[in-house]
């Protein structure tokens, strides 16, 4: 079944259909209070990357957005920065993809085929890969989608919102069963042995339950899973939470040292949050709150 958010699934020739989908998308999302039949939920309100809301608002995209759409490519690009000598990979500034059965090579910049990727230009290569995959190769399809969307609501009226607020506005706040969330959360790293009894994990749930209002809970869910709308959590509860690959990916809290990052890190493909081993609840509350709020600014917290 087609997912209308998978923008690259349709050829440029289907732009008229994409325009109509943009109008249908807004009409359906704005009526989220209606009980949808199962087939419509799968078609339209399936777990969708926040990248789509960035497209709607014209917000800048980042390399981190690529993880939601193509986790393997994102991981491989990140690994390039850890190599002592990138040139051993024999890369150049091109992308080769299958286009309806035909291999097609696209240059990421002028004369990219003759420009080798080195340690000195690997950051530029990663940025150009991100730009191509998230913007350039789908620009006509995105344009048609947005023209349909803006035909219903003028773009200027949306400028008051950030992309996370727009999702909450269109999809509504989810009804979060905290006990179900806790019961079906998995723990890895240093948290695995003690699980919910680990002191840092206890602090985490205390902050979520006692300090976060419904919007902050939704933003936390948004931060970790990539979406927070009313259908972010399946009808079966958190035990059926899915990743972007449609496999069951339960909410997971993984430990990392504070020396690696003082901020929590999210891996939306796997519904996993890397939670530093804080030495106080106050510090956990501070940096967790900052992380879920800074997500909407477009700044990288690494």
Percent of the chain with pLDDT over 70: 73
pTM for the full model?
A: 0.56
Decide if pLDDT at 44 tops 50: no
Q: Which residues on adjacent β-strands are paired with residue 267? A: 272
- How many alpha carbons lie under 13 Å from residue 157 in its C-beta half-sphere? 7
| pLDDT score of 168 | 65
CA 227 to chain centre: 7
List the one residue out of 217, 233, 226 whose CA is nearest residue 184: 233
Contacts of 248 (CB under 8 A, 6+ apart): 239, 240, 241, 242
Decide if pLDDT at 101 tops 90: no
| pLDDT score of 77 | 93
Element (H, E) at 253: strand 252-256
State how far the Cα of 292 lies from the Cα of 268, in Å rounded to an integer.
13
CA 45 to chain centre: 15
Least confident interval from 10-14, 34-38, 96-100, 179-183: 34-38
Decide if pLDDT at 149 tops 60: yes
Decide if pLDDT at 162 tops 50: yes
Question: Pick the residue with more confidence: 137 or 260?
Answer: 260
- The shares of helix, strand and coil residues in the chain, as percent rounded to the nearest 5, are 55, 10, 35
Least confident interval from 80-89, 160-169, 197-206, 217-226: 160-169
Decide if pLDDT at 181 tops 60: yes
Residue positions counted in the chain = 302
Residue 269 among the catalytic residues: yes
247 burial (CB, 10 Å; 0-12 / 13-18 / 19+) is: exposed
């Amino acid at each position: 079944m087609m997912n209308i958010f998978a923008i690259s699934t349709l050829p440029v020739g289907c732009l008229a259909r994409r325009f109509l989908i943009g109008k249908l998308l807004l009409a359906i999302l704005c009526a989220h209070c209606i009980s949808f039949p199962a087939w419509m939920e799968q078609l339209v309100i399936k777990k969708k990357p926040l990248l789509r809301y960035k497209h709607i608002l014209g917000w800048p995209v980042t390399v981190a957005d690529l993880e939601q759409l193509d986790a393997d490519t994102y991981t491989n690009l990140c690994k390039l920065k850890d190599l002592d000598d990138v040139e051993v990979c024999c890369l150049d500034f091109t992308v080769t993809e299958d286009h309806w059965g035909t291999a097609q090579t696209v240059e990421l910049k002028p004369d990219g085929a003759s420009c080798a990727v080195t340690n000195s230009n690997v950051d530029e290569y990663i940025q150009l890969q991100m730009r191509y995959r998230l913007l350039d190769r789908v620009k006509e399809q995105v344009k048609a989608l947005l023209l349909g969307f803006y035909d219903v609501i003028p773009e200027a009226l949306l400028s008051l919102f950030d992309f996370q607020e727009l999702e909450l506005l269109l999809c509504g706040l989810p009804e979060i069963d905290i006990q179900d969330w806790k019961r079906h959360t998995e723990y890895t790293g240093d948290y695995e042995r003690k699980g919910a009894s680990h002191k840092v994990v206890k602090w985490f749930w205390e902050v979520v339950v006692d300090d976060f209002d419904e919007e902050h809970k939704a933003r936390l869910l948004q931060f970790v899973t990539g979406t927070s709308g009313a259908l972010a959590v399946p009808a079966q509860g958190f035990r059926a939470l899915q990743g972007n690959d449609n496999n069951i990916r339960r909410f997971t809290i993984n430990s990392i040292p504070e020396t690696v990052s003082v901020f929590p890190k999210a891996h939306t493909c796997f519904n996993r949050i890397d939670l530093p081993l804080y030495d106080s609840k106050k510090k956990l509350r501070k940096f967790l709150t900052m992380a879920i709020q800074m997500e909407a600014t477009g700044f990288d917290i690494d």
